[in-house]
Structure 1
Amino acid sequence: MPTVVRFLLCFAALAAFSAVMGGALTAHLPDRFFAEGGRDMARQAIQMQMWHALAMIGIAVLMIQQGCRALISLSGCLMAVGTVLFSVGVALTAFWGIHPGPVAPTGGSLLMGAWLLLAVGVMRA
């Protein structure tokens, strides 16, 4: 199995695991553990994380079937980095009220870029 595929599958599994864990914490922690409006913010970030974990699994499967094409591989890697930045940025705000500058927006921009690269990569495949 190519290294990039192994990375994406491992990363996606860990992202899904932490999304399930975050979902449980968000559902069961008392309100005092969240900044104002943080519970809803955390739920949205967890949903985004889970959807992108599933997307990375799909990208890895595509690479297994079609070969590791550069744009598709890059889209998966950008998706991984974007997921981390977006999720961490939102979690810091949701739980502690810390606004870490452009971390979440940068992650979101990387996620959007990853989807565009995937579209271009699939069209060129």
Structure 2
Amino acid sequence: MPPGWRFRACAPSRRSIPEVDRVLVSVGAFAALLGVAMGAFAAHGLESRLLDLGYAEVFETAVRYHMWHALGLILIGALHKQRPTLYLAWAGWLMAFGVVLFSGSLYILALSGETGWGAVAPIGGTAFLMAWLLVALGVLLPSDLSDV
């Protein structure tokens, strides 16, 4: 074996993943932009409709979780730059997936009144939980076990 060579079980090299940290921060910033836009849209254009349908609180919950997890994506991207692990990369993708499923389904529910969309939100919520667990593992476990 060449000097300095380390075995990494099926882990792609850092070069094979296109700057995960930059992508996660960019996705988080874009998600935050959309979260602010959705909040403004609700406050200035949809308030009466949401109140009439009785879904103003649902929409507010969607915006709140959207924004917190957009900031979470930015945090994960920053952590990944300092500590590039598969745990953190997966945490970022799960968090983005969670925003789409959790907040997205609540937005659709609030705007359409179609209650079936409420069943999708727990899938997004589970993605959030798994993402935060992976953030903890990515920070706590030795980085040489999961380097990318």
Is the shorter-chain TM-score for this pair beyond 0.5, marking a shared fold?
yes
Where does residue 40 of structure 1 map in the other structure?
57
Deviation at 1:9, TM superposition (A): 1.5
Where does residue 137 of structure 2 map in the other structure?
120
Normalising by structure 1, report the TM-score: 0.89
SS at match of 1:100: helix
Alignment partner of 1:10 out of 15, 19, 26: 26
Q: How many Å separate the matches in 1 of 2:90 and 2:37?
A: 28
The AA in structure 2 aligned to 1:109 is: T
Superposition CA RMSD, Å: 1.8
Tell me if the contact between 2:101 and 2:124 (Cα under 8 Å) persists in the aligned partners: yes
Tell me if the contact between 2:31 and 2:70 (Cα under 8 Å) persists in the aligned partners: yes
The AA in structure 2 aligned to 1:45 is: A
Where does residue 105 of structure 2 map in the other structure?
89
Q: How many Å separate the matches in 2 of 1:22 and 1:50?
A: 10
Deviation at 1:2, TM superposition (A): 4.2
Deviation at 1:35, TM superposition (A): 6.2
Which is greater in Rg?
2
Tell me if the contact between 1:35 and 1:95 (Cα under 8 Å) persists in the aligned partners: no
User: Alpha-carbon deviations, 1:58-92, whole Å to 9, x = none?
Assistant: 111111112x2011111111101111111111011
Alignment partner of 2:125 out of 102, 105, 108: 108
Q: How many Å separate the matches in 1 of 2:52 and 2:139?
A: 41
Aligned length: 124
Normalising by structure 2, report the TM-score: 0.76
Q: How many Å separate the matches in 2 of 1:33 and 1:86?
A: 18
SS at match of 2:53: coil
Deviation at 1:38, TM superposition (A): 1.3
User: Alpha-carbon deviations, 1:3-36, whole Å to 9, x = none?
Assistant: 3222212211111011101111111224225663
